[in-house]
Structure 1
Amino acid sequence: MTDRPTRAPRNTRLVGAGYAVGAYLLWGFLPLYFVLLEPTGPWEVVAWRILLSLVFYLILIPVVGGWPRLRTVLSNRRLVMWTAVAGLLIYLNWQVFLIATLTGHVIEMSLGYFINPIVTVLLGVVVLRERLRPMQWTAVGLAVVATLVIVVGYGAVPWLALGVAFSFGLYGLVKRHIGPSVDVTSGLTLESLWLAPLAIVQLVIVAMTTGLTMGTAGAGHGVLLALAGVITAAPLMLFAAGARRVPLTVLGIAQFITPIMQLVIGVWVLDEPMPPERWIGFAIVWLALGVFTLDSVVAARRRRAERRAVPPSRSARQE
């Protein structure tokens, strides 16, 4: 086999880029969808999101012939444990996301997704002992400065942004650790399955305190809430399809679609406050992301150039 570019790979990359962009666009619109679910609170929304996602995946598995793969994963205790950890982390991410969205903190949440790539790199240093290049350290330093500017100027630590960034960063770290041993459908199914008891308990508590809203706020609201499973699963499936077809640099650049959309929705649609100190903090974050993205692109080009420079005979011997 050779690495020469052909029309098929180019078409595959284009299709993959379309899947990835579609996933990030859907994630960007999620705040508007969840705002439409009011008066349903964040705890009830997350519980329905878990249970209805599980129903969606259980319907999907026989369609894609996934039962054998699911049984293979279930036979491995280590993989089962890691899917449970991944489920807990994505639960934390969803819960913080919903609390931020339904309490008027969409802008702060967008900050979390802006800094998520840098948090992911930082976790790689702390957990995986990876070494950062100088420009990556510069991006990390700028992100820290931006957070300090927001804390000092705005007078509050952006806990929701940090919660979103670190929960999703750790989730990505676990998914990377699992690797190809768990296919997308099996992984998402098991994550939802392990969270199902928690979701049921959560619904019981909500029912005993504030009361459940499913079916009590009109037919339109009921339909929207019933779609929570599909709305949750669709971008995850699109993202998984895209991630298999495009380079990480493409995913890294495309992921900024989501926080940009969330920022626009928070400022111009939901009319959340955006004082000057926040704009300054965001500007520093964007500078950090510019440095980070430039470094990623340059590093990817350097690796491609190095691979092309290896003679075919030497490459074959190495294999």
Structure 2
Amino acid sequence: MSVVAPVLDRRGVAATVGAFVVWGLFPLYWRLLQHVPSLQIIAHRVVWSAVLVVGWLCLRERGAWLRRIAVQPRARVTLALTSVLISCNWGLYIWSVNNGHVVEASLGYFINPLVNVLLGVVVLRERLTRPQWIAVAVAAAGVAWLTWQAGRAPWIALGLALSFGAYGLLRKLVQVDAVSGLGMESVYLFAPALALVAWGEAGHGGAFVHGWSLGTDVLLVLAGAVTAVPLLGFAYGVRRIPLSLVGLLQYIAPTLQLLLGVVVFGEPFGPERALGFVLIWAALAIFVGDSLWRGRRRG
């Protein structure tokens, strides 16, 4: 008796791949705003993405999404925490791109899946398989090598991985869909971000109304769409394709970021640094291989 393989949802695959490609190409966009203070970029990003996401939710559901969250006190508190984490993650990433650390930023998203595993062990008391422990050990060796080789720990990579890992862990603990959760996070962040924009316009590093070019102003406004659209696409796609496929596709983004850092921006990537990345990639190969093997056994 033959087994017919399930047909993948092409739209789901396209939406998910598209989201990861956009995230992978982010350095090109943020580098166009290199002359703008990073704090102002993140403030504009929050303000305009909030307008888009909350506006879209209100058009789609009116106030239903907000009422669903309002009756969950735990969700309200958790989303307040995740809003802080994601804003820190965005800010650190933008700063790293515009200060010549694209390669190290890509490392953060390569090791993020392994950080997620460790957070699951520490916080959720999950048990790791032997290959997963080996993967974590190999990744730790890679980070240790990069630390020794550079004379400092890869703080940017670790900061990005830990902030996004903690963000994902907390979001996993609340019963709120991805888009509604992003909408609530946007509500929390909107007022302080708008205040920061106003503070900048008052002569503290911002010149949105006058001082920057029209092109810069447009790029700052479009930062909202650049933020919201891939998130909405990812939320659409991830519900329609297997999580195992999502786990493989997620490496599109850091791979593109690494290529941009080395090929386009000319950041150093000599044999010594490459060895650290090879150890990280070996750890990911062990981790992904083990996940696929266990998935097939369950299937």
- TM-score bracket relative to the smaller structure: over 0.9
**Do 1:113 and 1:164's aligned partners in 2 also have CA atoms closer than 8 Å?**
yes
Distance (Å, rounded) in 1 between the aligned partners of 2:204 and 2:35: 11
Structure 1 residues 277, 84: closer, same or farther in 2, change over 3 A?
same
Deviation at residue 209 of structure 1 after TM alignment: 6.1
Distance (Å, rounded) in 2 between the aligned partners of 1:23 and 1:94: 16
Residue 287 of structure 2: aligned partner: 292
Deviation at residue 69 of structure 1 after TM alignment: 2.5
Pick the aligned partner of 1:194 from 188, 198, 202: 188
**Do 2:92 and 2:156's aligned partners in 1 also have CA atoms closer than 8 Å?**
yes
Aligned partner of residue 156 in structure 1, secondary structure: coil
Amino acid across the alignment from 1:162 = L
Deviation at residue 20 of structure 1 after TM alignment: 1.1
Q: Deviations over 1:138-175 (max 9, x none)?
A: 11001100001001011121100001001111111111
Amino acid across the alignment from 1:217 = W
Amino acid across the alignment from 1:286 = W
Provide the TM-score with structure 1 as the length reference.
0.88
Structure 1 residues 210, 276: closer, same or farther in 2, change over 3 A?
farther
**Do 1:69 and 1:183's aligned partners in 2 also have CA atoms closer than 8 Å?**
no
Pick the aligned partner of 1:52 from 48, 59, 63: 48
Residue 92 of structure 2: aligned partner: 96
Residue 237 of structure 2: aligned partner: 242
Q: Deviations over 1:74-121 (max 9, x none)?
A: 122111111111111111110110111111100000000000000001
Residue 317 of structure 1: aligned partner: none
Q: In the alignment, does 2:29 pair up with 1:33?
A: yes
Q: In the alignment, does 2:35 pair up with 1:19?
A: no
Deviation at residue 62 of structure 1 after TM alignment: 2.9
Deviation at residue 192 of structure 1 after TM alignment: 1.1
Amino acid across the alignment from 1:231 = V
Distance (Å, rounded) in 2 between the aligned partners of 1:187 and 1:195: 12
Deviation at residue 195 of structure 1 after TM alignment: 1.3
Q: Percent identity?
A: 41
Residue 124 of structure 1: aligned partner: 120
* Number of residue pairs the alignment of both structures matches: 296
**Do 2:179 and 2:235's aligned partners in 1 also have CA atoms closer than 8 Å?**
no
Structure 1 residues 149, 40: closer, same or farther in 2, change over 3 A?
same
**1:299-310 → structure 2 map (5 Å cutoff):** 299-304=294-299
Distance (Å, rounded) in 1 between the aligned partners of 2:51 and 2:275: 44
Residues 58-67 or 90-99, more deviating: 58-67
Q: Extract unaligned runs of 5+ from structure 1.
A: 305-319
Distance (Å, rounded) in 2 between the aligned partners of 1:157 and 1:135: 25
Q: In the alignment, does 2:4 pair up with 1:10?
A: no
Deviation at residue 207 of structure 1 after TM alignment: 4.3
Q: Extract unaligned runs of 5+ from structure 2.
A: none
**Do 1:66 and 1:186's aligned partners in 2 also have CA atoms closer than 8 Å?**
no
Aligned partner of residue 207 in structure 2, secondary structure: coil
Distance (Å, rounded) in 2 between the aligned partners of 1:214 and 1:139: 47
Pair member with larger Rg: 1
Amino acid across the alignment from 1:235 = P
Distance (Å, rounded) in 1 between the aligned partners of 2:197 and 2:56: 25
Amino acid across the alignment from 2:142 = A
Residues 222-231 or 207-216, more deviating: 207-216
Residue 72 of structure 1: aligned partner: 68
RMSD of equivalent CA atoms: 1.7
Distance (Å, rounded) in 2 between the aligned partners of 1:219 and 1:205: 20
Q: Deviations over 1:193-229 (max 9, x none)?
A: 1112331343355445642132432112211111011
Amino acid across the alignment from 1:258 = A
Distance (Å, rounded) in 1 between the aligned partners of 2:165 and 2:214: 37
Q: Deviations over 1:239-286 (max 9, x none)?
A: 111211112211110000000000000001011122322111001111
Aligned partner of residue 147 in structure 1, secondary structure: helix
**Do 2:201 and 2:208's aligned partners in 1 also have CA atoms closer than 8 Å?**
no
